[in-house]
Amino acid sequence: MFIVNTEAAIFNNGKWLIIERSKKEEHAGGMLSLIGGKVDQEGNSSDILERTVKREIFEEVGVKVKDQLHYVHSTSFVTDKGNHVVDVVFLAEYESGEAFPKSPDEVDEVLWLTYDEIMEHPNSPPYLKDNITMAEQLKRKVF
């Protein structure tokens, strides 16, 4: 079985909302990341991916995004502990709230970065760069 994870590429005023993952995190601790988390089991449920990513954004950094989410892409990977994960990335537009590390066990720092700043950051892993590149391309088409 897979763990299902959702993430959001959140934009506002030419910048992307990025977190530095807590160094305590099992996977990619200390690295830059999109905001998101695991889907909980709910039985029969609709819009579970969308609701999960919105919940995780608010839990981790205290902001809300606009209702309309846009699918960017999905990937799979294996964590350092051998867990198989399906990751679904959405494009989201910031709506309200002041971003801060609301969940310190998961988030060390909150950053608003431009595309170029993400690409040049030393703690920006290749998959984040890929996600932001795809989100940037989609953003130009839908907004």
For the stretch 59-96, pLDDT in tens is: 999 999 999 999 999 999 998 889 999 999 999 999 99
So what's the pLDDT on residue 24?
Answer: 79
pLDDT exceeds cutoff 90 at 26? no
pLDDT of residue 108: 95
Instruction: Enumerate the domain spans of the chain.
Output: 3-142
DSSP-assigned letter for residue 61:
H
Q: What is the pTM of this model?
A: 0.94
4, 86 contact by CB (below 8 A): yes
Percent of the chain with pLDDT over 90: 85
Mean pLDDT across the chain: 95
Phi, psi (degrees; rounded to nearest 5) at 59: -65, -35
Highest CATH level, class, for 3-142: alpha beta
pLDDT on residue 27: 72
Tell me: the pLDDT tens digits for 50-60? 999 999 999 99
**Rounded Cα distance, 138 and 117, in Å:** 19
pLDDT of residue 4: 98
Neighbours of 87 (CB within 10 A): 19
Q: Determine the 3-state secondary structure of 23 from DSSP.
A: coil
Determine whether 29 is exposed, middle or buried from the number of CB atoms within 10 Å of its CB (0-12, 13-18, 19+): middle
